[in-house]
A = this chain, B = another copy of it.
């Protein structure tokens, strides 16, 4: 096989600097090099990198992915740990959805009530300025 980093990037759909970054943080093993020190990859690298990409898209943290990768490398292990990681992520996602929905309610109210006249009467500004407003951690992103 012997793919260049650019080839690998295209096949796994992960940007080149990201690949180098993954190597740096130990998510990808160091790979062979040409005499001129350019990286060359085998077929397995594509699968491993795509695995990582998919896991990142699902929002798993790098540390979790490290664990998932090490599980993958050893197919006779119990998959309880993998299940646990996935479940924890699911719980996180559910919490985030709930908080974004609360957010959406509030934003909708703001936008709907805005008569779009002067700022002095604007519900958007008023709502933000309303200090009595309940506030738990609503949401990031």
Contact = CB atoms under 8 A, between A and B. Distances in A.
Interface of A: 13, 46-47, 50-51, 53-55, 57-59, 68, 71-72, 74-80, 82-83, 85-87, 89-90, 93-94, 96-97, 100-101, 103-104, 106-108, 110-111, 114, 116-122, 124-125, 127-131, 133, 135, 137-141
Contacts of A71: 119, 122, 125
Name A's interface SS: helix
Contact of A58 (B74, B82, B103, B116): B103
A69 B134 CA distance: 20
Contact of A82 (B54, B76, B119): B119
B50 A131 contact: yes
